Structure 1
Amino acid sequence: MSKTTAAVRADQLSQRDTWISIGIIGMLFFIFGFVSWVNAILIPYFKIAFTLSNFDSYLVAFAFYISYLVMSVPSSYLLKAVGFKKGMMVGFFAMAVGAFIFVPAAMSRTYEIFLLGLFTLGTGLAVLQTAANPYVTVLGPKENAAQRISVMGIFNKGAGILAPILFAAVILRVGDNELFQQLDTMTPEAKDAALDELIRRVILPYSVVGTVLLALGIFVRFSPLPEIDTEHETAEVAEANSGKTSIFQFPHLILGAVAIFLHVGTQVIAIDTVIPYANSFGIGLMEAKVFPSYTLAFTILGYLIGISLIPKVISQVNVLRICTLLGTVFTLLIIFTSGQVTILGITTDVSIWFVVLLGLANSLVWAGIWPLALDGLGRFTKLGASIMIMGLCGNAIMPLAYGAVADAINVQQAYWVLFPCYLYLVFYAVHGHKIRRWKLA
């Protein structure tokens, strides 16, 4: 296969083409968010349906996100070979296959087949993320990149607010809390029948998702989305990179990929653990399902602040520094605070609301890291983006670390795993992104 559409430089696009591109990429980020953040419901749902430990339940996130580690670099070569649009189509088709795998998994109530479906969904998403993130980063002035990425974040997290609520509305029933409490007292035959019925509720929604993903792949392939030339280098960048032969000669990129690994890990822990954490205080699944949406709402609030203030009032790097410091503070407050409060009609421990506030702290970290890490890569941009996307496997590793500590100690002290992550993110925001040459001792 070869590219059929001539690639153009981002600075050659008309304003109309730029806005069309932003709209289409925004739709992609909406899909990313919907498919990704529904895991916040799948984790506690599968924990009940398969009677899993905390650690085993977070294999949902592991299977979904470890595909980024496996597929990111191959995705960059796919995009080089066929271009952005065909590559995105392949990504959507792979995601559709993953969604359809949920049907035999549910019919047989086999957790391992569900994990295979989640891995396949993540594989397609890795291709799409490898294409979409550098695309929107170069689609305009670099000092406004965080602003554009924040707009994409609103699409992504807006879908994330809807996904757990809509999915819960489809698969949960009135009286399920009572059913969950009665499972341990049922006969083996009655319990198996109840769990079979419970898990088969995912068949219809994932069949619809798979069909929609197929249609979106065809749409993107024939959409007016222009091919962007990321191989073009300005004279200044070409001179700076003239002696570069390896992506590992860009320390700010490699350190940025580590930052992405830790950032997405902190983000997914904040969203995917908040329901089980609320459960530990006696709040049932039907009531706790709103907490991921509250977390994502604070994330969107952060995006809106970023769009309003960057770069006119504050630079994107200073926003990154503020957000990483906030994450450090909120983590300590989760661990060390306790006491009952009533907020939005929900009476629970105050520490849960600091988990929710991590949504605000995490909001502009992704948008701050990407332009800093890709700065000056020139012809290495696609490969650099794939290294960054590999960092998304932090979504796979970090929840398992949280789950292991939660099983060994308790769910509140398990949030200690976030503390060193935020300390590193502060380092990258303050100094790490400035390192352009490895120094030997």
Structure 2
Amino acid sequence: MTVKEIKIGIIGFGTVGAGVAANILANSDVIASRAGVKLVLAKVADLDITTDRGVRIPEGVLTTDAAEAIREADIVVELVGGTTVAKKFILDAIRAGKPVVTANKALLALHGEEIFSAAEAAGVDVYYEASVAGGIPIIKALREGLVSNRIHRIYGIMNGTCNYILTRMENEGADFNTVLADAQKLGYAEANPSLDIDGFDTAHKTAILAALAFGEWFGLDPVHVEGIRDLELADLRYAEELGYRIKLLSVIKESEGNVQMSVRPTLIPRNTLLANISDVFNGVLVEGDTVGQTLFYGRGAGRNATASAVVADLTDVAINLAVGSVRRTPAFRSGKLFRRVLTMEESESRFYLRLQVRDCPGVIASIAQILADKSISISSLIQHERREADGTVALVILTHSAAEKSLRAALAELATLSINQSPVKLMRIEDI
């Protein structure tokens, strides 16, 4: 078998960049034997080329000039991160006729349409497997493996920080702030963890998967986002009692030609495989009309998992170059198949409600009447005998499927009741 050498230029020599370089140096012979292409490090560009990253880079490969890396490479890898200079590097590479591999989820979520349009005009590939769920090949699965399916639903646990926090809260009975502090000490959470715990990291990934699933670039704005910052231990305990687990869940659905996209703490049945994905691991469930449900599981972040996805993309693009079949599988196919994106108020769901109420006659009847007046039916109800110091008790209600608009109207009325002593805790339920 003839092996063709393909020169790789990496821009960004941080944790992931070092992992990609190490993987290429260690396994280029394995890739060559399997794929018929040999990945060769041409240039690795970074502003800091003196700090030891634990990778022995061949002499003359390191540079501080990103333009040099673009010029010398057959394929450019962008691992700088952010949405400003990284965008410039990618567009510069595309204009130079160079295919691009990136792990930059934020950039794609915000500017993906512009980048993919530029790549189409230039006739080059843009691959981005590592932008969603680390080492899990979910992009390739949606783009190729499930190409014959109409995608109905995608559910994703796609942030290891949040999943680690929720797992420890549930297993150890520890509160959110305690577990977050531990996660920061262990390196699972950033010093400023808001991107993760407020749901925006998962929202970026949701925007990318929705575009792949439905053939239309919706962008980030239509994704409804709620994080786990305000999640209380009591809710995890009640969820467990009712047969559910709470996960920060990416929800992507289509219904009658409309699309719904959200990121939110969600109750899912405990006996499902998705509910049992724990600690820092990720999982993505995809439901197609032909294949049914498929589940993808693995490490969603970290140097090696992300590097694995980047190098897989590099191999795909290198094969395309070697056989002269550029854009064999375009990164994104536009379709405009759907009428519009539903707002949360236009959606329907089952709901979890936790109220702190005065323990007196007629409480449940009053609440049930308000819900019934809004066409909301109660599925389950829990009220334990234990009272708080102020004499109130927790009342937990699960509803049947109802319109979000009706539920919000009911909550507004519940807030006016004198028996209700605090804002209602609301989460959605997905019966996967």
Q: Same fold (TM over 0.5)?
A: no
Query: Which structure has the highest helix share of the two?
Result: 1
TM-score, normalised by the number of residues in structure 1: 0.27
Query: Which structure has the highest strand share of the two?
Result: 2
The structure with higher relative contact order (CA 8 Å, sep 6+) is 1
TM-score, normalised by the number of residues in structure 2: 0.27
The structure with the larger Rg is 2
